[in-house]
Amino acid sequence: MARVIRTCWGNPSSSHSAGKAAGKILEEARCRTAEAINASPSEIVFTSGGTESNNMVLLGAACANSPAKRHIITSKIEHPSVLNPCIHLLEQGWDITFVGVDESGVVNTAEIEAAIGSNTALISIMLANNETGVIQPIEKICDMAHRHGVPVHTDAAQAVGKMPVDVNRLGADYLTVAGHKLYAPKGIGALYVKKGSPWQNLMFGAGQEHGMRPGTEPVHSAAAIGEACRLVTSDLAMAVEKMKKLRDRLFQLLQEVSDSRVYRYGEPDNTLCNTLLVSFPGRIGSKILTACPDLMASTGAACHDRQVAISHVLAAMHVPEEVAMGTLRLTLGRYTTETDITQAAELIRTAL
């Protein structure tokens, strides 16, 4: 990114030499982003991040269907950038079905299929939850939806770089990628739009990004997400195995430092390799974190972690209040070490 900022200042839409150089870098980034999810470069639209990508689908693509189709199916555990556009549409007269999840945080696929009707415009279910890390059965959901002729969007912001993501295997028609979740900078993301999928623009301008997201592209940020996608997928299996081992080791250490039972959310084999959502029943998660400020963690999703309350995700899972209030979300990265998790467990022990 720094190299592109220094050396490639042209507008990628310009026909002069600087513009052509910028355009080449932009398309290389598009190819690398596409390769990370096994898509075609022409199916990738660069955005400002996961929130914009989700809004583009919920408020744009869903409205591209027949006027008679004003029904969306989503889940109770989605990110606010999916839930809030759905609530907005609900206020505009749309019919929104919010399906539930089981105690392990997996969506009820039978409830989804039962909700599909002739007026259903879209189904939007995340690939992996941003709090629990629980992986959802998107392939199964896409199969059932397509039998009824309904397109599917999946928010894969948490998943890319932490598990294999193949849009063709999943069957998704739209898929969200967030740059800062895979070591790209904040403020850049991507949206996969399967060729031929319904589409309606939210913004209008000069026609950049296949005319789907107008405005001069941030070439340096696009280059960064393209390179990040290349790097995180080049050694994905090895990185996943490493993070999974450290995640499970961290849980073992937490069990050893706590004087009471530590509750773990989700099935370990069906959660992201880097995500450990745990609870210390009878405690207050925010107070634990206040007592160890050097621990970079949260009580829930980092983007809305400023209140002492049970998250909507845990509420949907029907977690008892005593358990939910003691929740900590601990997420590892590719560069987390054994020393890091040992220190983290010790900080939590002291805080407890």
Domain shared by 283 and 193, yes or no: no
Q: What 3-state class would DSSP assign to 346?
A: helix
Q: Which of 195, 215, 234 is the last residue of a domain?
A: 234
Query: Based on the domain organization, do 307 and 217 belong to the same domain?
Result: no
**Measured between alpha carbons, how far is 95 from 31 in angstroms, rounded to an integer?**
37
pLDDT tens string, the chain, 352 residues long: the values are: 999 999 999 999 999 999 999 999 999 999 999 999 999 999 999 999 999 999 999 999 888 988 889 999 999 999 999 999 999 999 999 999 999 999 999 999 999 999 999 999 999 999 999 999 999 999 999 999 999 999 999 999 999 999 999 999 999 999 999 999 999 999 999 999 999 999 999 999 999 999 999 999 999 999 999 999 999 999 999 999 999 999 999 999 999 999 889 999 999 999 999 999 999 999 999 999 999 999 999 996 455 554 567 899 999 999 999 999 999 999 999 999 999 999 999 999 999 9
Q: In the sheet that 95-99 helps form, which strands lie side by side, from edge to edge?
A: 44-47, 189-193, 174-178, 152-155, 120-124, 71-75, 95-99
CATH number at residue 295: 3.90.1150.10
Q: Taking CA 97 as the corner, what is the angle to CA 91 and CA 98, rounded to the nearest 5 degrees?
A: 100
235's tokens? 């050694």
> What is the count of structural domains for the chain?
2
Give me the pLDDT at residue 61, please.
86
User: What H or E segment, with its residue span, contains residue 331?
Assistant: strand 327-331
What pTM was computed for the model? 0.95
Region for residue 162 given its phi and psi (left: phi exceeds 0; alpha: psi -120 to 50; beta: otherwise): alpha
Query: Are 206 and 331 within one domain?
Result: no
Which one of 215, 234, 253 terminates a domain? Answer: 234
Taking CA atoms, 164 is separated from 169, 237, 261, 278, in Å, by 10, 8, 33, 25
Same structural domain, 266 and 208: no
Give me the torsion for CA of 269, 272, 276, 277, rounded to 10°: -90
* Shared-domain flag, residues 150 and 189: yes
For residue 306, what pLDDT is reported?
47
In the annotation, is 273 catalytic? no
Which one is catalytic: 63, 142, 273, 303? Answer: 303
Angle at 77 between CA 171 and CA 261, to 5 degrees: 120
Quote the domain boundaries for residue 175.
Answer: 2-234
Per-residue pLDDT, 259: 87
State whether 44 and 156 are in the same domain. Answer: yes
Say if residue 157 is in the same domain as residue 292.
no
**242 in the same domain as 176:** no
From 234, 249, 267, give the residue that closes a domain.
Answer: 234
Q: Please check whether residues 300 and 161 belong to one and the same domain.
A: no
d(CA 181, CA 173): 21
Please tell me whether residues 213 and 299 are part of one structural domain: no
- C-alpha span between 177 and 157 (Å, rounded): 5
* C-alpha span between 229 and 8 (Å, rounded): 21
- Of the candidates 235, 227, 236, the one whose C-alpha atom is nearest the C-alpha of residue 33 is 227
Which residues lie below 8 Å from residue 282, measured CB to CB, with a gap of 6+? 260, 322, 326
Residues 132 and 244 in one domain: no
